Structure 1
Amino acid sequence: MTDTTEKWPLKRLMTEVVGSGHKSADDMSREQAREAFARILSGEPDHTTLGAFWLANRWKRNTPEELAAFVDVMREQSVETAAPEADPVDCGANYDGKDRTALLGVAAGVVAAAAGTPVVVHSGDRVPTQKHDAYKHVLDSLRVRTDLEPDESAAMVDEVGFGFYYQPNFNPGVHGLFDRRDQMGVRTFVNTIETLANPSGARVHLGSFYHLAFAKRMTETLGACETQDFDRVLFFQGLEGYDDVRPGATTVAEWTSADGLEDYTIETAQYGMDFTEEDALAVEDVAEDSAEITESVLAGERTDQFADAVALNAALRIYARGDVESLDDGLETARSVLEDGRAADVLADLQAF
């Protein structure tokens, strides 16, 4: 555990390291970053100092080494890991959610689970700054239990193939920062690291990004972490920054422990999403409408653009875990479990858990 009696309180870090402006600020050492986040989790910093520190880090942009140090302290001091017997894909979408387009990760995860690829998702409840709908809210609208303790979440993965972990229960230290984050008015590095909490101890991570440079920084962050060890990481350009594939040309960043990082572009029309407008996936009420779309797609009652998007997103999850050799194979598998009713059966099991 980090010793918070060391010599780098946040005010000194502001004065001597990170606080001089986005062009002249220095980066923290790993030890300084560890101590800083340990102090934050302990509730020590003055509120003004904490806000200034978060803003200074936003301006200067954190290095992978700093982010990895934050993640390690979070996992050591806040995260309660509960690993299922299954070996799931960890889906770490932005916790502050979506507000314009359907959230399809539940449907995609259920389809993947029906195909034999266990999937874990995690989120909080109206997380700052956007406070929009996230995984929890779609699951609530589907009448699925979400206020689960970590061991219950692990049991859900093993029994159903799809599991939800609830931030207040598995990451209480970060959840305790809610009010301070809410007063910031902008995202902080906490928005980044909470998606990497990995409460199931998975060895495969799937996430999203706005720009390729950020995806590279995230893979370097995970590579620098000392508290977890991934075999495979897949990031793609997500719709509204969430882990739903953006229609059109979508960049993918794929990292494996054996081959390192590779980036490439997929044309989603070649994988069934034969449209380019993001508005084609727009909804009025993200949670309620996404739940209705999920049920109707999984029941085989809907074969429109939402069904095409669910199939491709499921294929990415199946491919990320290495259960198929190509995205084409993943898409064929996803469509087969939609057609034969296995996906609908998994949703029923999830609702009954």
Structure 2
Amino acid sequence: MAVVDSEFGEWPLKRLMTEVVGTGTKSAEDMSREQAMEAMRRILAGEPDHTTLGAFWLANRWKHNNAEELAAFTDVMAEHVEYAEPEVDPVDCGANYDGKGKTAVLGVGAGVVAAAAGTPVVVHSGDRVPTQKQDAYKHVLDELGVRTELEPDESADMVDDTGFGFYYQPNFNPTIHALWERRDNMGVRTFVNTIETIANPAKASTHLGSFYHLAFAKKMVNTFEASEHHDLHRVVMFQGMEGYDDIRPGYTKVAEWTDGEFDDFEIETAEYGMDFEYDDLGVDEADVAGDSARITEAVLTGEREDRFADAVAVNAALRIYAREDADSIQEGLEMARDAIDSGAAADVLEDLRAF
């Protein structure tokens, strides 16, 4: 007979390992929503033995979590998130928190350009998140002289004041941040890397993300649908570089979900001005954040009109299109280029620095 823990329930991680998720690659089963929620509550409370927690995370990585499990993990995480809604309804950009190590981080520039075009944007990240512990949104903003270690209410004010806002994980999602050491000791990504990107701290109605394979985009949409916390209107995802929300040059897929309807389509980025290769967006691997910041400022001020400017404009267009502020990516691209040419994007950057 199972022993019921008065605080959590009857499914400690060790039992889930031996009876459900850890029995082997062919015999492992998916957890019920209730089991997954109990597991996440125990994890966030620091209850599991460290060895058991590592084994549980690894078993789930091998098994592959389904959307119901991810939604359960997300809903428990949401119970601990400090949400701060701006007055505007922004696009939520949740790139992989463990960052990029080879190509420029374009999301800051793209978000600022979109904001200047009238599409408010929210980005969020931590600081050197495992496993890669590479450069993310925070580090580019730091290099640009923009405050990042904000309280959630300050982040919401930043969105309303400038059109662009940054939310800092240790302040809005402290229980996930508290797992940093355990995640670092794993050496591989876990399902926490997935769910932290959809915390949506501004409670936006539109989410923009990326995927390697279309099946992952479908799984994330199903996760949003299964979540009892999220109430999104629209999700747009595309094949990104290094798992980040920077669209991949060349042939790529875009997936969109609006109020329960899923669709996907293919684009050639050359048709939108990105007529170059993946490696053409490479930067100094020893200074990804610094190079990305210098590129961002030069693009926003109109000093660069090269491949990086084209890439920032297209990524801004995707954000504008995601929020339905443009009827097509092409229309969004025209709005993005106007925001740069008019000086509006440079003005948003200065507003961010002054915030």
From 117, 120, 123, the counterpart of 2:119? 117
Instruction: Measure the CA separation in 1 of the matches of 2:7 and 2:102.
Output: 42
- The match for 1:316 is 318
1:195 CA displacement: 0.2
- The match for 1:280 is 280
Determine whether 1:12 maps to 2:12. no
Cα deviation 1:95-128 (Å, max 9, x = unaligned): 0000000000000000000011000000000000
> Could you list the runs of 5+ residues in structure 2 that have no partner in the other structure?
none
3-state SS of paired residue (2:253): strand
- The match for 2:40 is 37
From 241, 244, 250, the counterpart of 1:242? 244
8 Å CA contact 2:68, 2:226 repeated in 1 = yes
Amino acid at match of 2:131: T
Instruction: Measure the CA separation in 2 of the matches of 1:302 and 1:24.
Output: 55
- The match for 1:57 is 60
How many residues were matched structurally? Answer: 349
Determine whether 1:138 maps to 2:140. yes
- The match for 2:104 is 102
- The match for 2:257 is 255
Instruction: Measure the CA separation in 2 of the matches of 1:176 and 1:298.
Output: 36
3-state SS of paired residue (1:67): helix
1:3 CA displacement: 7.1
Instruction: Measure the CA separation in 2 of the matches of 1:40 and 1:23.
Output: 26
Report percent identity of matched pairs.
73
1:22 CA displacement: 2.2
3-state SS of paired residue (1:262): strand
Instruction: Measure the CA separation in 1 of the matches of 2:194 and 2:7.
Output: 23
From 220, 227, 230, the counterpart of 1:225? 227
Instruction: Measure the CA separation in 2 of the matches of 1:79 and 1:22.
Output: 33
- The match for 1:266 is 267
Instruction: Measure the CA separation in 2 of the matches of 1:3 and 1:13.
Output: 17
- The match for 2:292 is 290
3-state SS of paired residue (1:350): helix
> Could you list the runs of 5+ residues in structure 1 that have no partner in the other structure?
none
Instruction: Measure the CA separation in 1 of the matches of 2:21 and 2:85.
Output: 37
- The match for 1:149 is 151
Structure 1 runs of 4+ with >2 Å offset: 2-5
Of 66-75 and 208-217, more deviation after overlay is shown by: 208-217
1:5 CA displacement: 2.8
Instruction: Measure the CA separation in 1 of the matches of 2:339 and 2:152.
Output: 28
TM-score, length-normalised on structure 2? 0.97
Q: Indicate the RMSD between aligned Cα atoms, in angstroms.
A: 1.0
3-state SS of paired residue (2:124): strand
- The match for 2:210 is 208
8 Å CA contact 1:281, 1:306 repeated in 2 = yes
Instruction: Measure the CA separation in 2 of the matches of 1:3 and 1:304.
Output: 62
Amino acid at match of 2:264: D
1:250 CA displacement: 1.1
3-state SS of paired residue (1:236): strand
1:170 CA displacement: 0.2
